[in-house]
Structure 1
């Protein structure tokens, strides 16, 4: 397969194209290449998008198998280390009990039996062979775990959005309440001003007399003269009444 260069008319074989791409990738080592960048670069050298998509799916599948294999081997080695620690601890305890008590040596019997099982476990744990069934189960488990993590992230995102909307609604309600209170206070203030402007002046208190017409208090002589005038008036009235009865 030969690739034509649009600018200079040069042509490259498939091996040369691979070598050029590998060298270019080595020159850009340390920088991750996005999927769109990879597709654009492939289209520049005449590789279709479908071919890149199929190749990327294959690479992702291989990467998933490698990750699954690494996870299985790591889990096996962790289990073997835990088994080895239990083996050493328990058999050390049995040796101490056998050494401190009288009688024949018997601790090596459980040591040999358990050691045989530990040897089989080590053979399986230190081996790099993984069956396709185990790989498929691990890939499915990883996919389920990834989906669960994605769902949890989506739930947390929705929860954060819901809390943010609730906070904004509460803030808007609080601002609306303040605005209503200020508006009501302004209306009441204007009504009070109008009422004060249209009300008649308040009358003076009952105990206060108008200026210039204040009544002076009566002294003792004026009170006696008033009493004498009243007595004379009553006598004159009685005389007039007697004269009227004598004429009849």
Structure 2
């Protein structure tokens, strides 16, 4: 029988639980944890699913605000860098024109005016202050972009599915056409064989063309033989009579 652990009956405060969990997560192997795994682990230590859901929504909200803040600051800095590049290029060009042409120095007037505007832009572009309204607008903008991207992927998936369905229908129609052609060829071949099998035999070479000689049965052949014999006897008797009359 296993001995009970000495620390199995020990109780921890909320601060100690947080510290222990943070230490365990820091020492554990880094990996992504699914929502179901998180809920199951929380239920093991007596945290309800509702509390986990509420905490996860708060974390998602905080993460969304952090991403929105980072996007706003990045866009600000990008705009300021673009403005600074234009300021340097244009004022360098004006200085070159002023230096190469006779007359008083005038290039510093646009330099001072534009420099004042650039200073105000630097104050706003390099600042890390973001108002709640800006955060809300950025979150809404990011959500709209995500919806449009999801709609685009959905339309692309539907287009691919329709193309695949069309290709399957075309293949099925082609296979059906081949099957019909093979079936028709088989039926025509069978009909031709039946026609060849039921055709009468060819007439002999000495038979007159255009007359069809039908095969004679046994009774018809006997009747023809008797008729031939009777005709022969009549012909012999008439020949004998002509002979006696001549004498």
Number of positions where the alignment pairs a residue of Structure 1 with one of Structure 2: 202
Partner in structure 1 of residue 213 of structure 2: none
Partner in structure 2 of residue 242 of structure 1: none
Q: 5+ residue gaps in structure 2?
A: 208-247
Q: Secondary structure at the match of 1:40?
A: helix
Q: 5+ residue gaps in structure 1?
A: 211-248
Partner in structure 2 of residue 246 of structure 1: none
Shift of 1:29: 4.4
Residues 1:64 and 2:64 aligned together: yes
With over 3 angstroms needed to count, the CA separation of the structure-2 counterparts of 1:28 and 1:201, relative to structure 1, is farther
Tell me, in whole angstroms, the C-alpha distance in 1 between the residues paired with 2:198 and 2:60.
87
Q: What RMSD, in angstroms, separates the aligned Cα atoms of the two structures?
A: 1.7
Per-residue deviation, residues 37-74 of structure 1 (Å, max 9, x unmatched): 11111111111111111111111111111111100110
Shift of 1:28: 3.3
Shift of 1:20: 2.1
Tell me, in whole angstroms, the C-alpha distance in 1 between the residues paired with 2:164 and 2:65.
41
Tell me, in whole angstroms, the C-alpha distance in 1 between the residues paired with 2:195 and 2:20.
94
Q: Which moved more, 1:23-32 or 1:163-172?
A: 23-32
With over 3 angstroms needed to count, the CA separation of the structure-2 counterparts of 1:198 and 1:34, relative to structure 1, is same
Partner in structure 1 of residue 224 of structure 2: none
Partner in structure 2 of residue 137 of structure 1: 137
Partner in structure 2 of residue 174 of structure 1: 174
Partner in structure 2 of residue 147 of structure 1: 147
Q: Which has the higher contact order (CA 8 A, sep 6+)?
A: 2
Moved over 3 A (4+): 7-10
Tell me, in whole angstroms, the C-alpha distance in 1 between the residues paired with 2:101 and 2:25.
70
TM-score between the two structures when normalised by the length of structure 2: 0.78
- After superposition, residues 1-248 of structure 1 pair within 5 angstroms as 8-204=8-204, 208-209=205-206
Tell me, in whole angstroms, the C-alpha distance in 2 between the residues paired with 1:27 and 1:72.
34
With over 3 angstroms needed to count, the CA separation of the structure-2 counterparts of 1:20 and 1:202, relative to structure 1, is farther
